[in-house]
Structure 1
Amino acid sequence: MAESSSHSLVQKILETINVITTIGDFKTHKKECNTLTRRVSLLVPLFEEIRDDHNLRLHTSKKGLRCINALEAALHTAKVLLHLCNKGSKLYLIFEQQKVAKQFQLLNTTFVQALDRSSSLDISDEVREQVDLVHLQFQRSKGLDDPLDAELNAGLIPVLDEYQGRSRDQLERLAKLFKFDTARALMRELQALHWMRVEKEPAVLGILVNERVFEQLLGLVNDMRILFPQEDLEQDDPELKKLQVAQRAGVERTGMQLASDIGTCKGIPNIPDDFKCPISLDLMRDPVIIATGQTYERSCIQKWLDSGKRTCPKTGLSLPHTNLTPNHVLRSVIAEWCSLHGIELPKRRTKGSQCSPEDKAAIDELVAKLSDPSPEVQRSAAHDIRLRAKKNVDHRICIAEQGAIPLLVGLLLSPDQKTQEHAVTALLNLSINDSNKGRIVTAGAIEPIVEVLRNSCTEARENAAATLFSLSLVDENKVTIGNSGAIPALVALLHDGTARGKKDAATALFNLSIYQGNKARAVQAGVVPPLMKLLDDQPASMLDEALAILAILATHAEGRFAIAAVGPTPVWLKIIASESPRNKENSAAILLALCSHDPEYANHARESNVVEALTVLARSRESTNRAKRKATALLEFLKKPSQPENVSMSQGVDGLRV
Structure 2
Amino acid sequence: MGFNFMSGMRVNEKNITPVTSWSESESEIIIPPEFQCPISIDLMTDPVIISTGITYDRVSIEKWINSGNKTCPVTNTVLTTFDQIPNHAIRKMIQGWCVEKGSSLIKRIPTPRVPLMPCEVYEICRKLSSATRRGDYKKCVEIIGKIKKLGEDSERNQKCINENGVGLVLCDCFVKFSGDEKLTAMLNEILSLLTWMVPIGSEGITKLSSESSFRCVSGLLRSNEDSVRQNAAFFMKEILTLDETRVHAFAVENGVVGAFAKLIRDSVSSTATKFSLIAIYQMVLQKPEIASEFLDVGLVNLTVEMIVNAENSVCEKALAVLDAICETKKGREEVRKNALVMPLLVKKILKVSELATRSSVSVILKLSKTENVFAVEEAVCLGAFQKVFLVLQVGYGEETKAKATELLKMMNAHMKLMGDCVDSSMNFKYLKKPKSKSGRLRNFLL
One-letter amino acid of the counterpart of residue 409, structure 1? S
1:492 and 2:262 aligned: yes
Unaligned runs of 5+ in 1: 1-354, 643-651
1:514 and 2:285 aligned: yes
1:441 and 2:209 aligned: yes
Match of 2:391 in 1: 617
- CA–CA distance in structure 2, aligned partners of residues 439 and 577 of structure 1: 41
Match of 1:544 in 2: 316
| Deviation sequence 1:436-458 (CA, Å, 0-9, x none) | 22333336211111111012411
Kindly, what percent of the aligned residue pairs are identical? 16
One-letter amino acid of the counterpart of residue 127, structure 2? E
Q: What secondary structure is seen at the aligned counterpart in 1 of 2:262?
A: helix
- CA–CA distance in structure 2, aligned partners of residues 434 and 577 of structure 1: 35
- Normalised TM-score (structure 2): 0.56
Give yes or no for contact 1:405–1:427 (8 Å, CA) kept in 2.
Answer: no
Give yes or no for contact 1:506–1:545 (8 Å, CA) kept in 2.
Answer: yes
**1:113-128 equivalent positions in 2, closer than 5 A:** none
Q: What secondary structure is seen at the aligned counterpart in 2 of 1:455?
A: coil
One-letter amino acid of the counterpart of residue 421, structure 1? N
- 1:431 to 1:625, Cα distance in 2 relative to 1, 3 A: closer
- CA–CA distance in structure 1, aligned partners of residues 144 and 261 of structure 2: 28
- CA–CA distance in structure 2, aligned partners of residues 596 and 568 of structure 1: 16
**1:253-292 equivalent positions in 2, closer than 5 A:** none
- 1:359 to 1:526, Cα distance in 2 relative to 1, 3 A: same
One-letter amino acid of the counterpart of residue 435, structure 1? E
| Deviation sequence 1:537-586 (CA, Å, 0-9, x none) | 25434111111211222222122122222243221111114232222121
- 1:507 to 1:393, Cα distance in 2 relative to 1, 3 A: farther
Q: What secondary structure is seen at the aligned counterpart in 2 of 1:444?
A: helix
Give yes or no for contact 1:450–1:464 (8 Å, CA) kept in 2.
Answer: yes
Match of 1:656 in 2: 440
- CA–CA distance in structure 2, aligned partners of residues 425 and 407 of structure 1: 17
- 1:501 to 1:538, Cα distance in 2 relative to 1, 3 A: closer
1:627 and 2:400 aligned: yes
Give yes or no for contact 2:168–2:204 (8 Å, CA) kept in 1.
Answer: no
Match of 1:505 in 2: 276
**1:192-271 equivalent positions in 2, closer than 5 A:** none
Match of 1:453 in 2: 221
1:603 and 2:377 aligned: yes
One-letter amino acid of the counterpart of residue 656, structure 1? R
Match of 1:185 in 2: none
1:592 and 2:365 aligned: yes
- CA–CA distance in structure 1, aligned partners of residues 281 and 295 of structure 2: 12
Match of 1:361 in 2: 123
**1:370-519 equivalent positions in 2, closer than 5 A:** 371-372=135-136, 379-384=141-146, 391-396=161-166, 399=169, 403-410=172-179, 413-414=181-182, 418-426=185-193, 429=197, 432-442=200-210, 444-476=212-244, 478-484=247-253, 485-496=255-266, 497-515=268-286, 516-519=288-291
Q: What secondary structure is seen at the aligned counterpart in 2 of 1:592?
A: helix
* Aligned alpha-carbon RMSD (Å): 3.3
Give yes or no for contact 2:174–2:190 (8 Å, CA) kept in 1.
Answer: no
- Normalised TM-score (structure 1): 0.39
Give yes or no for contact 1:420–1:452 (8 Å, CA) kept in 2.
Answer: no
Give yes or no for contact 2:221–2:259 (8 Å, CA) kept in 1.
Answer: yes
1:564 and 2:336 aligned: yes
One-letter amino acid of the counterpart of residue 123, structure 2? A
- CA–CA distance in structure 2, aligned partners of residues 373 and 479 of structure 1: 30
Q: What secondary structure is seen at the aligned counterpart in 2 of 1:542?
A: helix
- 1:559 to 1:380, Cα distance in 2 relative to 1, 3 A: farther
Q: What secondary structure is seen at the aligned counterpart in 1 of 2:440?
A: coil
- 1:443 to 1:606, Cα distance in 2 relative to 1, 3 A: closer
- 1:506 to 1:367, Cα distance in 2 relative to 1, 3 A: same
Q: What secondary structure is seen at the aligned counterpart in 2 of 1:578?
A: coil
| Deviation sequence 1:418-464 (CA, Å, 0-9, x none) | 43420333566587221122333336211111111012411111111
Pick from 314, 323, 326 the counterpart of residue 554 of structure 1: 326
- 1:409 to 1:560, Cα distance in 2 relative to 1, 3 A: same
Deviation at 1:614, TM superposition (A): 2.1
- CA–CA distance in structure 2, aligned partners of residues 539 and 495 of structure 1: 16
Q: What secondary structure is seen at the aligned counterpart in 1 of 2:165?
A: helix
Give yes or no for contact 1:366–1:385 (8 Å, CA) kept in 2.
Answer: no
Unaligned runs of 5+ in 2: 1-116, 152-156, 416-432
One-letter amino acid of the counterpart of residue 581, structure 1? E
In the alignment of these two chains, the number of paired residues is: 288
- 1:410 to 1:363, Cα distance in 2 relative to 1, 3 A: farther
- CA–CA distance in structure 2, aligned partners of residues 451 and 542 of structure 1: 25
- CA–CA distance in structure 1, aligned partners of residues 162 and 397 of structure 2: 38
Q: What secondary structure is seen at the aligned counterpart in 1 of 2:200?
A: coil
Give yes or no for contact 2:168–2:200 (8 Å, CA) kept in 1.
Answer: no
- 1:443 to 1:577, Cα distance in 2 relative to 1, 3 A: closer
- CA–CA distance in structure 1, aligned partners of residues 163 and 329 of structure 2: 43
- CA–CA distance in structure 1, aligned partners of residues 387 and 118 of structure 2: 61
- 1:456 to 1:520, Cα distance in 2 relative to 1, 3 A: same
Match of 1:529 in 2: 301
- 1:381 to 1:430, Cα distance in 2 relative to 1, 3 A: farther
- CA–CA distance in structure 2, aligned partners of residues 634 and 529 of structure 1: 25
Give yes or no for contact 1:465–1:504 (8 Å, CA) kept in 2.
Answer: yes
Q: What secondary structure is seen at the aligned counterpart in 2 of 1:475?
A: coil
- 1:561 to 1:392, Cα distance in 2 relative to 1, 3 A: same
- CA–CA distance in structure 2, aligned partners of residues 518 and 427 of structure 1: 28
- 1:457 to 1:384, Cα distance in 2 relative to 1, 3 A: farther
- 1:382 to 1:521, Cα distance in 2 relative to 1, 3 A: farther
One-letter amino acid of the counterpart of residue 440, structure 2? L
Q: What secondary structure is seen at the aligned counterpart in 2 of 1:536?
A: helix
- CA–CA distance in structure 2, aligned partners of residues 550 and 557 of structure 1: 13
Higher relative contact order (CA 8 A, sep 6+): 1
Q: What secondary structure is seen at the aligned counterpart in 2 of 1:406?
A: helix
- CA–CA distance in structure 2, aligned partners of residues 460 and 622 of structure 1: 42
Give yes or no for contact 1:617–1:623 (8 Å, CA) kept in 2.
Answer: yes
| Deviation sequence 1:125-155 (CA, Å, 0-9, x none) | xxxxxxxxxxxxxxxxxxxxxxxxxxxxxxx
Deviation at 1:518, TM superposition (A): 2.7
**1:345-360 equivalent positions in 2, closer than 5 A:** 358-360=120-122
- CA–CA distance in structure 2, aligned partners of residues 531 and 568 of structure 1: 10
Q: What secondary structure is seen at the aligned counterpart in 1 of 2:236?
A: helix
